[in-house]
C-alpha cells in the first residue's frame, strides 16, 4: 500500500471521529405497523391484501414530515375555540410562521408557513381546516399588484398569489399535504409555481389534517370553499406581503375544485380574481367514474359516499357500499390510511369481492350528487384555461370535452381556452403543458386581455414521440429525498 493511500485512509478515519453520529429526523421511517387479527377478519382480507396493505401504510407513514400527521400538535385546535361557535369563515385560528423544512423535501430556496383557519362545508357549516403557504426566495415583480392592507406603505415586496387546489391524497386525517414531506403534488404544481416567484396558498381540504372532521371528498363546491377561505385567511395574516390579486389553479381533483371555484366566483365574487387554471379536471364525476377501472371506482365512490353521508340526512354508506365495502372503508379510517392504502383495499382481492352495490349509480342520491357537484354547463368567471391529456383514464377526456362543449354552447362569449395534449395521461399533462400554463399564469398578472369566446386546440409532439404515454397516469419518474448530512 502506498504512502499516499495510507495517509488518505488515516485522514478519513480521523475526520470520521469529528462527525456526529447519524440519526433519523423522522420517526415514521421503518414503520412496524401491523394489522390486528380482528381488523383482518372484519374486513375479509386475504393474506396477500394484508401484506400489501401493511406495506402501503408503512410507505405512507414514511412520507410524513417528522412524525405522523395525526400526532402533530400543529393540527390540534386550542381549547380557547368552541367548534360549535367558531369565528367567521376565513378567520385565522393558528399560525406556524416558519415551518421546519429540514423535515421536508422542498427546493432549498423556498420557505413555508402553515396555518389553521375557519372554512365552510358544502352545507355552509363552519369547521376548522389546515393549509400552507409556500414562499419563493423573492417574489416575482408585476406592475399594479396591490397589498391586502390599505394601511401600509406601497414600498416593499408583494408576493403574487396562486390559490392552489391539490389532487387526491386520501380521505382521512392523515392525508393532509401540509404534513407530507413533498406536499403531495411537489414538482407537478406547487414547487415550480413557487420557484417562479409566486406565493402558493394551498388548503389541505377540511377533514384532512385537523382531527374530528370528515372529508367531504369530491364534494367539489366544498373544496372550492376551502380554497377561498384559505386565501382570505392567508391574506389577513400577511396583508403586507400577499397580493390582493390571485389566480386559481388545480389538477385532478384539484382541477375539478378549480373549475368549481370559477363557478363559485361567478355567484360569490371575490375581489382580486384574475382567472382559473383547471388541469385534468373532473366535470361529470360519475361519468368519469363509469369510464375508469373497477379498483379506481371502488375507492373513489366509497370516498364520495363518505362525503354524502355528512351532507344528505337520509343517506348512509350502506346505500352504495356492500357490507364488505363498508367494513373496508371503516378500516381505512381506523388505521388512518391514505390513497395508497385505500387502493389496496379497493382492489378487492383482484375483483373477487364486490365493494359497490349493484345500481348504486342509478339511485336518487347518485342523481342528486351528479347535479350538485357538476362542473360545466354553468356560468363561470373567466378567463379559464383547461388542459387535458387525451389518454387520461381518470378525468376521462371525452367526458371533459363534452363538458367543455356544453359550456361553450351555453355561454359562447365566455373566456375559455381548452387544450388537449395527444397521447398524454392524467398527471403527465402538467409536464407536457408546463410552459403553456406557467406563461398563462404570468399573463394574468401582467393584465394581458383574454378575448371572449371558446378556443380549442390539440397539441402533439413534433417528433412524434413522448415518454408520458407509456407509464400511465402514475408516471412519476423520480423520487425526491432530503439528505441533511450531505452524504
Query: Which CATH number goes with the domain that contains 181?
Result: 3.40.50.1820
DSSP string, 391-444: T-TTTTHHHHHHHHHHHHHH-TTSEEEEEEETT--TTTHHHHTHHHHHHHHHHH
Residue 473, pLDDT score? 43
CA distance 248 to 384: 9
Residue 468, pLDDT score? 53
DSSP string, 328-373: HHHHHHHTT--HHHHHHHHTHHHHTS--BPTTGGGSHHHHHHHHHH
The 3-state DSSP class for residue 56 equals helix
CA distance 242 to 245: 9
Query: Is omega for the bond preceding 59 within 30 degrees of 0, making it cis?
Result: no
| 338 assigned to some structural domain | no
What share of the chain has pLDDT > 90, as a percent? 78
| 229 assigned to some structural domain | yes
- For residues 398 and 280, is the Cβ–Cβ distance under 8 A? no
> Which three cell numbers, joined as nine digits, stand for 184?
403531495
Half-sphere exposure of 45 (CA within 13 A, CB side): 27
CA distance 168 to 179: 14
Half-sphere exposure of 474 (CA within 13 A, CB side): 6
| 81 assigned to some structural domain | yes
User: pLDDT digit string (tens) for 45-100?
Assistant: 999 999 999 988 988 998 899 888 999 999 999 899 999 999 999 999 999 999 99
| 8 assigned to some structural domain | no
Residue 155, pLDDT score? 75
| 343 assigned to some structural domain | no
| 5 assigned to some structural domain | no
Long-range contacts of residues 112-116, Cβ cutoff 8 Å, at least 24 apart: 114/74, 114/178, 115/233, 115/234, 115/237, 116/74, 116/75, 116/77, 116/92, 116/210
Q: State which residues form the domain around 235.
A: 62-288+369-470
CA distance 202 to 246: 12
Number of domains in the chain: 1
pLDDT at 465 over 50: yes
Mean pLDDT comparison of 29-33, 43-47, 438-442, highest-scoring range:
438-442
pLDDT at 19 over 80: no
pLDDT at 358 over 60: yes
Length of the chain: 487
- Per-residue HEC secondary structure of 298-325 comes to HHHHHHHHHHHHHHCCCCCHHHCECHHH
| 31 assigned to some structural domain | no
User: pLDDT digit string (tens) for 252-303?
Assistant: 999 999 999 999 999 999 999 999 999 999 999 999 999 887 777 899 999 9
Strand ranges inside 141-234, DSSP E: 159-165, 199-203
Q: At 348, is the pLDDT very low, low, confident or very high (cuts 50, 70, 90)?
A: confident
Contact residues for 325 (Cβ-Cβ < 8 A; gap 6+): 298, 302, 317, 354, 355, 356, 357
- For residues 234 and 133, is the Cβ–Cβ distance under 8 A? yes
| 450 assigned to some structural domain | yes
Amino acid at each position: 500500500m502506498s504512502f499516499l493511500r495510507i495517509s488518505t485512509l488515516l485522514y478519513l478515519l480521523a475526520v470520521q471521529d469529528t462527525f456526529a453520529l447519524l440519526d433519523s429526523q423522522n420517526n415514521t421511517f421503518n414503520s412496524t405497523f401491523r394489522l390486528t387479527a380482528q381488523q383482518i377478519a372484519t374486513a375479509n382480507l386475504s393474506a396477500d391484501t394484508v401484506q400489501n396493505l401493511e406495506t402501503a401504510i408503512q410507505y405512507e407513514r414514511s412520507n410524513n414530515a417528522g412524525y405522523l400527521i395525526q400526532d402533530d400538535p400543529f393540527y390540534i385546535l386550542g381549547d380557547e375555540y368552541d367548534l360549535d361557535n367558531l369565528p367567521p369563515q376565513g378567520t385565522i385560528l393558528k399560525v406556524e410562521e416558519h415551518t421546519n423544512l429540514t423535515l421536508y423535501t422542498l427546493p432549498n430556496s423556498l420557505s413555508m408557513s402553515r396555518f389553521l383557519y375557519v372554512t365552510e362545508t358544502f352545507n355552509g357549516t363552519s369547521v376548522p381546516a389546515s393549509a400552507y403557504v409556500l414562499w419563493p426566495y423573492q417574489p416575482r415583480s408585476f406592475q399594479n399588484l396591490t397589498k391586502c392592507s390599505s394601511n401600509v406603505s406601497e414600498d416593499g415586496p408583494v408576493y403574487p398569489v396562486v390559490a392552489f387546489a391539490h389532487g387526491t391524497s386520501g380521505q382521512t386525517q392523515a392525508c393532509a399535504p401540509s404534513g407530507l414531506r413533498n406536499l403531495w403534488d411537489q414538482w407537478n404544481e406547487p414547487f415550480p409555481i413557487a420557484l417562479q416567484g409566486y406565493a402558493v396558498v394551498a388548503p389541505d381540504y377540511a377533514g384532512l389534517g385537523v382531527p374530528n372532521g370528515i372529508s367531504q371528498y369530491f364534494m367539489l363546491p366544498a373544496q372550492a370553499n376551502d380554497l377561498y377561505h384559505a386565501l382570505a385567511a392567508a391574506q389577513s395574516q400577511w396583508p403586507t406581503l400577499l397580493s390582493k390579486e390571485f389566480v386559481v389553479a388545480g389538477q385532478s381533483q384539484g382541477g375539478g375544485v378549480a373549475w368549481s371555484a370559477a363557478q363559485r366566483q361567478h355567484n360569490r365574487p371575490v375581489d382580486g380574481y384574475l382567472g382559473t387554471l383547471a388541469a385534468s379536471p373532473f366535470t361529470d364525476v360519475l361519468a368519469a367514474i363509469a369510464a375508469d377501472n373497477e379498483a379506481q371506482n371502488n375507492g373513489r365512490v366509497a370516498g364520495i359516499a363518505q362525503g354524502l353521508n355528512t351532507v344528505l340526512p337520509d343517506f348512509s354508506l350502506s346505500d352504495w357500499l356492500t357490507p364488505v365495502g363498508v367494513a373496508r372503508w371503516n378500516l381505512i379510517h381506523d388505521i388512518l390510511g391514505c390513497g395508497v392504502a385505500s387502493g389496496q383495499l379497493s382492489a378487492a382481492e383482484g375483483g373477487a369481492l364486490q365493494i359497490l352495490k349493484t345500481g348504486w349509480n342509478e339511485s336518487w342520491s347518485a342523481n342528486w350528487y351528479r347535479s350538485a357537484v357538476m362542473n360545466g354547463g354553468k356560468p363561470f368567471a373567466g378567463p379559464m384555461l383547461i388542459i387535458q391529456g387525451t389518454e387520461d383514464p381518470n378525468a376521462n377526456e371525452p367526458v371533459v370535452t363534452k363538458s367543455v362543449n356544453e359550456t361553450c354552447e351555453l355561454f359562447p362569449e365566455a373566456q375559455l381556452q381548452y387544450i388537449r395534449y395527444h397521447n398524454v395521461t392524467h398527471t403527465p399533462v402538467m409536464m407536457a403543458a408546463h410552459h403553456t400554463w406557467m406563461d398563462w399564469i404570468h399573463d394574468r398578472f401582467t393584465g394581458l386581455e383574454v378575448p371572449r369566446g371558446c378556443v380549442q386546440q390539440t397539441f402533439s409532439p413534433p417528433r412524434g414521440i413522448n415518454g408520458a404515454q407509456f407509464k400511465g397516469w402514475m408516471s412519476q419518474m423520480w423520487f425526491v429525498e432530503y439528505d441533511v448530512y450531505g452524504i
